[in-house]
Chain A
Amino acid sequence: MSLIKRIFSSKTEENKSGEQKKEYSENEDHKNTNKSNVMNDKIKFTIDGKECKADKGANLVEAAKANGIFIPTLCHLEGVKPAGSCRICNVKINGRFMTACTTEIADGMMIENNTTDIQELRNIIIETLFVSGNHYCPACEKSGNCELQALGYRYKMLVPRFPFEFEEKVVDASTPKIFIDRNRCILCKRCVRSLKTKDGKSIFAINGRGHKAMINIDHELANKMTDEEAQNAMDTCPVGSILKKERGYVDPIGSRKYDKKPIGSEIESVNK
């Protein structure tokens, strides 16, 4: 759980990146004294021509991040088995489209990340997500902390190219600690994959399939959620679909995560 918190707090995020950098330089120091040990651990690959290094078997999204390169994600959650479902992290690896979050880095991989083709695909996915739900950003509590909105800004989406469909979605506010606003859900399944009870039972699951699929909540289990778990659920959601009850708009506008700098810039600033 602390892991999730770390992801969502930009301050600790920066610290963490700093720590990683420090670890890396320590490794570099070790290199001189204990060469064989370190040489085996790191492998080389390129992203858009830039030479990068990472531990063998590292996750591509995280490996890129450690090298100061931002690959956008929505469904990815560090420490949780990748789903590869939002498709926003699509990159070209040795000429083939693959999702970065489901890829383990291998020696010599040639990765294209920031190309016109890939960027266009990402824009289309973001815009698809906007029109498949009902996202009224100005009124949403997650505005400024929302990863979908932040990606929209970063990639300069003015208005989706697709017509809005305004599909009717059902809001579930029947549990005491949280409510689910399915209008804003992008079906990333972060909640489904990571939020379990102590004995491993799912609190969230998908219901239905295709464009009618939606997140369902186990009422019996959700009724027992603590405040901390409710907060955690809200923080796990990349958009404003899971919200904690009995509080609102805690962070004032201007001090939210993506108010001042675009999403990803904290990663890109590391190696500059």
Chain B
Amino acid sequence: MSSQVQSIVDKFGNDATRLMDIFIDISKDKGHVGEEDIAEIADQLNISRVDVEQTLSFYHFFSKEPRGKYNIYLNNSLVAEFMGREEVADAFEKATGTQFGSVSEDGLFGLYDTSCIGMNDQEPAAIINGVVFPKITTYRVKELIKAFRAGKTVTEMVNSFGGGQNQSALIKSMVTNNLNRRGAVIFSDHTAGNSFIKLGSMKPKEVIEEVKNSNIRGRGGAGFPTGLKWEFCTRAGNKERYLLCNADEGEPGTFKDRVILTEIPHLLFEGMVIAGYAIGAKEGILYLRLEYEYLQNHLETILDDFRKKGWLGKNVAGIDGFNYDIRIQFGAGAYVCGEETALIESCEGKRGEPRNRPPFPVSVGYLDKPTVVNNVETLCSVVKIIQNGGEWYKSMGTKETSGTKLLSISGDVRYPGVFEIEWGMTIREMLEMAGAIDPKAVQVGGPSGRLIGENEFDRTICYEDLPTGGAMIIIGQNRSILDVIKNFTEFFIEESCGSCAPCRYLTVILRNRLQKIIDGKGVAKDLEDLAHWGKQMKMANRCGLGQTAANPILSGLENFIQDFEAKIEKGKDFDTKFDLDKAIQESSRAVGRFPQA
């Protein structure tokens, strides 16, 4: 007799590279993947149990231990804190009778912290059994928990719908889109499939040339020229190639892809077809963060529609011999999987640990085949570039940075949301556009970016000056800069894959030293230490996460040194607040000696 686990493993072709899907299905079924499930999976895939477990234990949304009937993942991003997360967290603990990081005794509720879920424009937000609950107040907490105790399902507790497609039968979500500014590229009017008319008359090489001519650079943040990436991939010897779309969007403060995926997913899939055609891909994979699982039916329906229209499948868009399809691969809660090689590892059912480069994915990528990994926004832009030409695209933006950029603006601002701007706007203009309230600082590009103050507000958003993936967190005058930096540093500790020694633990050391300063026990030497140790991170680590993990501390020291100095003891170069009795408490207890109180 075949068990449930067996049939799930069968469903994915007994293929170890589909471990993520196997875990997701089992988790949906039973809430967790237990010891006996691990053993069954291992036996059936003929790999060892520790290998199964090493992938399982990497991802935040998988669990080996039983979770609750209702699992509440409450976002702990900075902006959630700004919007009263602590109160809401307390209310959840009180109402459920359990602490964060545990399951209530009756097995009803699991409470968990989670890194940014892409709802910074409507915090505090939580994901409960896959359903997003934004704008949570303490009143709402009580209401939810009372209803769950009475046996209501999560979908029954959705008490309003957000705007736009969030109201559609396929989504029915409370998420609001806050699309505050449409621009000339991503959110301009578009009839689905329009670019295919032109595509049919172009050779793949011509498509690449057009994209190269547009000068578009990757929109994820690193800014590699897209056309060049495609060209490199086609030069790789192997004919079996893949296109991966990075919809992991894990950088705290970014939520633009969420809005694209909700409102104009057809534009993204159209871009994935164009890119697939240009590089001669066998398959396209949308790597989607599990936080956006609520969009699954919506996206699958659009894909089905594409298949019906002949835009996916055999001879796509009427192009002879172009056979291509797209599937969705879910992640399961790991920021580092937004790094392209970690994303590839995750797609292969492994831990999302970044690979050593070279070789680069364009030559050795998914399943060791040549692979292009592009951001959602990049692929959307490509559709308009093909339709209107590279010259048209270049007419927007600055000299070296063409086109438009989506900004996800949140924090101390009147109109949080997504704004499509032309590159070349200053930070000051941006603050005015979104209605910033008494801004003291802006975190440009999320925690891995740069914390800037008033002295940099006249800088221009573009690659030649201030490049960004688009997350803009506005920090008001009344906020503590040190608390901001601590939140970001803890985010990196939580999300480090743990592979590189410095990223795994120097981050912890840095946080502890920062805490010492916050506690008023710091001295001038601690600031020097933070700067010196932080700089090592840039040199020492393999991937972008590790290299940038000290950025909040380093740019904070650079721009807000007065906030640090205000906290430390003046004129002391040694620790005066060291509590010896407390430090030796444990050993004193062990030997029966008690320090005088």
The interface of chain A, by Cβ under 8 A from chain B, is 82-88, 90, 97, 99, 102, 117, 120-121, 124-125, 128-129, 131-132, 161-163, 165, 186-187, 189, 197, 201-213, 216-218, 220-221
B58 within 8 A of A: yes
Complex CA–CA separation, A131 to B502 (angstroms): 12
* Interfacial chain A residues near B345, Cβ < 8 Å: none
Q: Given A125-B540, A163-B512, A201-B47, does the pair A207, B54 have CB atoms closer than 8 Å? A: yes
* Interfacial chain A residues near B504, Cβ < 8 Å: 132, 187, 210-211, 213
* Interfacial chain B residues near A211, Cβ < 8 Å: 493, 496, 498, 504-505, 507-508
Q: Given A121-B540, A128-B506, A207-B57, does the pair A221, B497 have CB atoms closer than 8 Å? A: no
B505 and A128 form a contact (CB under 8 A): yes
B505 and A132 form a contact (CB under 8 A): yes
Closest B residue to A101 using CB positions: B356
B497 and A209 form a contact (CB under 8 A): yes
B47 and A202 form a contact (CB under 8 A): yes
B50 and A86 form a contact (CB under 8 A): no
A209 and B498 form a contact (CB under 8 A): yes
B54 and A121 form a contact (CB under 8 A): no
* Interfacial chain B residues near A221, Cβ < 8 Å: 48
Complex CA–CA separation, A102 to B493 (angstroms): 25
Complex CA–CA separation, A132 to B505 (angstroms): 6
* Interfacial chain B residues near A121, Cβ < 8 Å: 536, 539-540
B54 and A162 form a contact (CB under 8 A): no
Q: Given A121-B536, A211-B493, does the pair A218, B49 have CB atoms closer than 8 Å? A: yes
* Interfacial chain B residues near A217, Cβ < 8 Å: 50
* Interfacial chain B residues near A86, Cβ < 8 Å: 500-501
A210 and B51 form a contact (CB under 8 A): no
Show 30 residue pairs from A and B whose CB-CB distance is below 8 angstroms, ordered by the A residue: A85-B499, A87-B501, A90-B539, A97-B539, A99-B356, A99-B542, A128-B502, A128-B509, A129-B505, A132-B504, A132-B505, A162-B509, A165-B508, A187-B498, A189-B499, A201-B47, A206-B57, A207-B54, A209-B57, A209-B496, A210-B493, A210-B498, A211-B493, A211-B496, A211-B508, A213-B498, A213-B504, A216-B50, A218-B48, A220-B48
Chain B 413-435: CB-based contact to A (< 8 A → 1; otherwise 0): 00000000000000000000000
B541 within 8 A of A: yes
Complex CA–CA separation, A213 to B351 (angstroms): 12
Q: Pick from A124, A189, A206: contact of B506, CB below 8 A.
A: A124
A131 and B505 form a contact (CB under 8 A): yes
* Interfacial chain A residues near B541, Cβ < 8 Å: 87
A102 and B356 form a contact (CB under 8 A): yes
A208 and B58 form a contact (CB under 8 A): yes
Complex CA–CA separation, A84 to B495 (angstroms): 19
Complex CA–CA separation, A103 to B322 (angstroms): 38
Complex CA–CA separation, A83 to B533 (angstroms): 23
CB distance from B523 to the nearest CB of A (A): 14
CB distance from A253 to the nearest CB of B (A): 27
Closest A residue to B509 using CB positions: A162
Q: Give the interface size class of chain B.
A: 35 or more
Complex CA–CA separation, A99 to B355 (angstroms): 13
Q: Pick from B51, B58, B351, B512: contact of A165, CB below 8 A.
A: B512
B502 and A124 form a contact (CB under 8 A): yes
B53 within 8 A of A: yes
* Interfacial chain B residues near A220, Cβ < 8 Å: 48-49
Complex CA–CA separation, A163 to B578 (angstroms): 13
* Interfacial chain B residues near A83, Cβ < 8 Å: 356, 499
Complex CA–CA separation, A204 to B50 (angstroms): 7
Complex CA–CA separation, A85 to B497 (angstroms): 11
B494 within 8 A of A: yes
CB distance from A161 to the nearest CB of B (A): 8
Complex CA–CA separation, A87 to B536 (angstroms): 11
* Interfacial chain A residues near B508, Cβ < 8 Å: 132, 165, 211
Q: Given A84-B542, A124-B536, does the pair A208, B50 have CB atoms closer than 8 Å? A: no
8 tightest A-B CB contacts, nearest first: A213-B498, A205-B50, A132-B505, A205-B54, A210-B496, A201-B48, A218-B50, A102-B356
Closest B residue to A132 using CB positions: B505
Secondary structure call for the B interface: helix
* Interfacial chain A residues near B542, Cβ < 8 Å: 84-85, 87, 99
Q: Pick from A189, A205, A206: contact of B48, CB below 8 A.
A: A205
CB distance from B492 to the nearest CB of A (A): 9
Complex CA–CA separation, A163 to B516 (angstroms): 12
Closest A residue to B498 using CB positions: A213
Closest B residue to A126 using CB positions: B501
* Interfacial chain A residues near B512, Cβ < 8 Å: 163, 165
CB distance from A134 to the nearest CB of B (A): 13
Point out which of A124, A189, A221 has the most chain B C-beta atoms below 10 A from its C-beta: A124
Q: Pick from B356, B533, B536: contact of A82, CB below 8 A.
A: B356
Point out which of A86, A186, A206, A212 has the most chain B C-beta atoms below 10 A from its C-beta: A206
Complex CA–CA separation, A83 to B429 (angstroms): 46
B356 and A207 form a contact (CB under 8 A): no
B501 and A128 form a contact (CB under 8 A): yes
* Interfacial chain B residues near A125, Cβ < 8 Å: 501-502, 540
Complex CA–CA separation, A130 to B509 (angstroms): 12
Chain B 473-507: CB-based contact to A (< 8 A → 1; otherwise 0): 00000000000000000000111111111101111
Chain B residues 302-337 with CB under 8 Å of chain A are 334
Closest A residue to B510 using CB positions: A162
CB distance from A183 to the nearest CB of B (A): 14
Closest B residue to A216 using CB positions: B50
Complex CA–CA separation, A199 to B236 (angstroms): 33
* Interfacial chain B residues near A218, Cβ < 8 Å: 48-50
Complex CA–CA separation, A218 to B505 (angstroms): 26
Closest A residue to B497 using CB positions: A209
Complex CA–CA separation, A167 to B190 (angstroms): 56
20 extra A-B contacts, CB within 8 A, seeds A86-B501, A165-B512, A205-B48 = A85-B500, A121-B539, A121-B540, A124-B540, A125-B501, A125-B540, A129-B501, A201-B51, A202-B47, A202-B48, A202-B50, A203-B48, A205-B50, A209-B334, A210-B493, A210-B495, A210-B498, A211-B496, A216-B50, A217-B50
A210 and B501 form a contact (CB under 8 A): no
Q: Pick from B50, B356, B497: contact of A210, CB below 8 A.
A: B497
* Interfacial chain A residues near B493, Cβ < 8 Å: 210-211
Complex CA–CA separation, A208 to B217 (angstroms): 35
Closest A residue to B586 using CB positions: A166
A90 and B540 form a contact (CB under 8 A): yes
Q: Given A99-B356, A211-B493, does the pair A205, B502 have CB atoms closer than 8 Å? A: no
A124 and B48 form a contact (CB under 8 A): no
A85 and B501 form a contact (CB under 8 A): yes
CB distance from B530 to the nearest CB of A (A): 12
CB distance from A241 to the nearest CB of B (A): 14
Point out which of A86, A99, A204, A210 has the most chain B C-beta atoms below 10 A from its C-beta: A210
Chain B 539-563: CB-based contact to A (< 8 A → 1; otherwise 0): 1111000000000000000000000
* Interfacial chain A residues near B501, Cβ < 8 Å: 85-88, 125, 128-129, 132, 186-187
CB distance from B243 to the nearest CB of A (A): 27
Complex CA–CA separation, A117 to B538 (angstroms): 13
Complex CA–CA separation, A205 to B501 (angstroms): 17
* Interfacial chain B residues near A162, Cβ < 8 Å: 509
CB distance from B19 to the nearest CB of A (A): 13
* Interfacial chain A residues near B58, Cβ < 8 Å: 208-209
Complex CA–CA separation, A205 to B539 (angstroms): 27
Chain B residues 28-71 with CB under 8 Å of chain A are 46-51, 53-54, 57-58
